[in-house]
Amino acid sequence: MSTGLFYHPIFLEHDTGWGHPERAQRLVTILDEIEKRKDLNNIETVLPDKASIKDIQLNHSDNYIKLIQNTSEIKGIKHLDPDTAVCSKSYESALHACGAVLNAAKSVYEGIYRNAFALVRPPGHHALFSQAMGFCIFNNIAIAAKYLKNVMGLRKVVIIDWDAHHGNGTQDSFYNDPDVLYISLHQFPFYPGTGSANEIGTGIAKGFNVNIPMFAYSGENTYLLAIERIISPIVYQFSPEFILISAGYDGHYKDPLTQLLLTSNTFFKLSKAVIEIANEVCSGRIIFSLEGGYYLKGLSQSVVETLRAMVGYNNPVPYPSEELKERNSSMEIEQIIEIQKRYWKL
């Protein structure tokens, strides 16, 4: 089976204004990099359907959906919050972004593709029930998880979010739901201010929200340690039927918004690790949905490295990089492990 790449040209028409980091050029650069690569022939590009209003209602209020619908009538650019800009094409783009993630999830579950990548914008993981936030309009990955659970009847779903910013919207969507395990690796303290290790869920869902905060200048070694010591054993114990990845690439060491020290090779290793987990626990059912990433060259190379891992390569492309002085964060990882030991065998 091939890997599916879910993309629609409408994503380029979501205009956020001059100088905004979440801009159409992000996808153009990624598509150009994919086009240049001869090692990605086993990828099929798929034009997704747009999500229905009923789909969006799985995670957002009717009043909020109406607010976003009304942006179709605006002229120029309007800000929903200081960071999140929309234009007359943003509503349609957001529906197709959500639809791309839903189509990707359904096609992988039905065995049409071995795995899939939703190359979308606007991103989604900050979007709240009734509020746009942090470049995000509809929470694509949260809607997909609720669709898998509530419509397709899956019992357990895992979301792993490695965007450099904490996915507060996704966390909020499942904070009291023990059937969706949310795991986030993110720079902390940092925007949006949430994501401490002590945010572990509530009620019957205590322990099913796993935050792995990373201090500035944490790098590849700390991320791989977190996969090995925390994420892998917890996901194995949870035993999901599907894994969704909020794939942000703003942890790249040249990203203008963050201070993490990840490389394109790191993203290959992270992708390979979660694919191997999916192969073991849920018959390989995994999709990736694009979130952040604002250094264009690093973003495009890192997405390609994820795609290379998805099609089955065993080693990353050795891009030249600077010598990076990573913070030794093993002590912080041990502290997180102590918190998670209340709920999981680690």
Residues annotated catalytic, as ranges = 126
DSSP E strands in 34-80: the ranges are 43-46, 78-79
Beta bridge partners of 85: 79
Nearest to 132 by CA among 289, 14, 48: 14
Check if the beta carbon of residue 343 is closer than 8 Å to that of residue 200.
yes
The CA-based diameter of the chain, rounded to the nearest angstrom, is 55
Looking only at the bridges linking them, the beta strands covering 85-86 and 78-79 are antiparallel
Rounded Cα gap, residues 48 and 26, in angstroms? 19
Backbone phi, psi, residue 302, to 5°: -70, -40
Rounded Cα gap, residues 301 and 123, in angstroms? 19
Rounded Cα gap, residues 221 and 239, in angstroms? 26
Q: Map tokens 């979301």 to a residue.
A: 159
